[in-house]
């Protein structure tokens, strides 16, 4: 539903549950990045802690240390042993990476300084207690990407990195930290969640 008063759209997702189950769930908004390195800034809502991916997303395009925690997006452990400001995009180096911010309030923004606007995503925190950040930063060399794809996925999730139902339901580090990674669905339930994408000038 477009907002008639401002540049924004409100979205509603309904899932009709036929069988009782316990599953991870997530949304998949993806946003274009400017071509100039460092010309966009991720502005997350407050979060409890972040985690780096427990493996390699794309061979030859790794940037962050494996399976590490961090407290701020501008100081994320790197594989080279230093810290990386993951809030400023695009990165100078090609990368295909994931970070997850856990216990986050239901809002994140991406400020595009090169083009003079901010896009803001808000969602129901009680449904999606984490935010998965997918950095597609010229790191995927195979066709059709050919090392040119620049995008940021800002994905509200109740899941550990999208690693599947088995890992989500297991005793994983994110669940142990107090952030749920699955949701219980009852047979006959209509699960409804709402989120909003809005734009504003800088």
In a domain? residue 109: yes
Average pLDDT of the chain, as a whole number: 96
In a domain? residue 83: yes
In a domain? residue 1: no
pLDDT of residue 68: 96
Range of the domain at 83: 8-201
pLDDT of residue 160: 97
- Residue 112's Cβ-count burial label (10 Å; 0-12, 13-18, 19+) is buried
pLDDT of residue 15: 97
Cα 171–Cα 135–Cα 60 angle in degrees, nearest 5: 90
In a domain? residue 154: yes
CB 170 within 8 A of CB 143: no
pLDDT of residue 190: 98
pLDDT of residue 81: 87
CATH number at residue 52: 2.70.98.10
- Structural domains counted in the chain: 1
* Terminal alpha carbon distance of the chain: 24
Calculate mean pLDDT across residues 145-171.
95
- Given the structure tokens 């400020």, which residue do they identify? 111
In a domain? residue 140: yes
Task: For residue range 65-91, list pLDDT tens digits in order.
Answer: 999 999 999 999 999 889 999 999 999
Task: For residue range 112-156, list pLDDT tens digits in order.
Answer: 999 999 999 999 999 999 999 999 999 998 899 888 999 999 999
Name the percent of the chain lying above pLDDT 70: 100
Query: Rounded to whole angstroms, how far apart are CA atoms 64 and 139?
Result: 13
In a domain? residue 3: no
Query: Rounded to whole angstroms, how far apart are CA atoms 135 and 152?
Result: 5
pLDDT at 192 over 90: yes
pLDDT of residue 80: 84
pLDDT at 40 over 90: yes
Name the percent of the chain lying above pLDDT 90: 95
In a domain? residue 2: no
Query: Rounded to whole angstroms, how far apart are CA atoms 162 and 135?
Result: 14
């Amino acid at each position: 539903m477009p907002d008639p008063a401002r540049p924004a759209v409100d979205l509603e997702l309904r899932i009709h549950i036929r069988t009782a189950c316990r599953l991870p769930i997530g949304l998949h908004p993806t946003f274009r990045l400017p071509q100039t390195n460092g010309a966009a800034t991720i502005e997350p809502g407050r979060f409890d802690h972040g985690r780096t991916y427990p493996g390699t997303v794309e061979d030859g395009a790794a940037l962050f240390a494996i399976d590490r925690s961090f407290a701020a997006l501008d100081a994320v452990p790197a594989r080279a042993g230093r810290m990386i400001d993951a809030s400023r995009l695009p990165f100078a180096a090609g990368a295909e990476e994931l970070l997850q911010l856990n216990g986050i309030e239901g809002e994140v923004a991406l400020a595009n300084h090169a083009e003079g606007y901010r896009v803001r995503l808000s969602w129901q925190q009680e449904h999606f207690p984490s935010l998965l950040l997918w950095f597609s930063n010229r790191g995927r060399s195979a066709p059709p990407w050919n090392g040119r794809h620049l995008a940021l996925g800002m994905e509200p999730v109740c899941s550990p990195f999208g690693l599947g139902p088995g890992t989500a339901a297991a005793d994983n580090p994110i669940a142990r930290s107090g952030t749920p990674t699955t949701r219980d669905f009852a047979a006959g339930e209509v699960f409804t969640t709402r989120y909003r994408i809005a734009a504003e000038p800088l």
